[in-house]
Amino acid sequence: MNDDIEKVLITRQQIAQRIEALAQEVTADLAKIDHDGEVTLVPILTGSIIFVADMIRCLPQRMQIHLMSVSSYPGTATTSQGVKIENALNTVPQDLTGRVVLLMDDILDSGNTFRAVTEELKKRNPLALKTCTLLRKQRPEAMSFPIDYVAFDIPDEFVVGYGLDFDDYYRNLPEIGVLKKSVIEQHA
């Protein structure tokens, strides 16, 4: 499987160090909000699960976790195909009044997923809604999208590993790497 990777962009050590620092940023920022100290964490499935699992162990806040399943890269797609919120796997309460919500995803690419989900969550009346992504691609749509916390800015290349997939494979790689174009073309 590692033979399918053109190059490693971010090592597991870099990820671990950055997540610890990012958690400190989030903790300091959330402490400035006048609330009960509890956070409602909303991970976007499935790509964010590894990032979220590592991040929450670094966050000291009392929290509830409510999942949201969103699809925008079906199968072998390498660009967003539109956003669909999957209600069957959505455990986010309809009423978020008074809650501080931290929305987490694996990658900010086109901004479509974050835009659709933040619009949906704002309808539920949270006290504060913060957004966090592991990766942000260096492309105009992503760089201009307002996001609160970014672990890494990366080149505009198709990446896998650490939760990110291609056709549901490569999520288990401990680092983030660029998938070889030949692998993508074989599945097109």
The pLDDT of residue 129 is 98
Fold of the domain spanning 2-186: Rossmann fold (3.40.50)
pLDDT tens figures, 50-93:
999 999 999 999 999 999 888 765 555 555 566 667 665 577 88
Mean pLDDT in the chain?
A: 90
User: How confident is the model over 141-153, as a mean pLDDT?
Assistant: 92
Q: 127 and 145 in contact (C-beta within 8 Å)?
A: no
The pLDDT of residue 74 is 54
Sequence spans of domains, the chain: 2-186
Q: Is the pTM of this model over 0.85?
A: yes
The pLDDT of residue 117 is 92
DSSP structure string for 117-183: HHHHHHTT-BSEEEEEEEEEESSHHHHTS--SEEEEEE-SS-EEBTTB-BTTBSTT-SSEEEEPHHH
DSSP structure string for 53-108: HHHHTT--S-EEE--EEEESS-TT-SS----EEEGGG----S--BT-EEEEEEEEE
109 is known as an active-site residue: yes
- From 29, 109, 156, 168, the catalytic residue: 109
Check whether 142 has a pLDDT greater than 90.
no
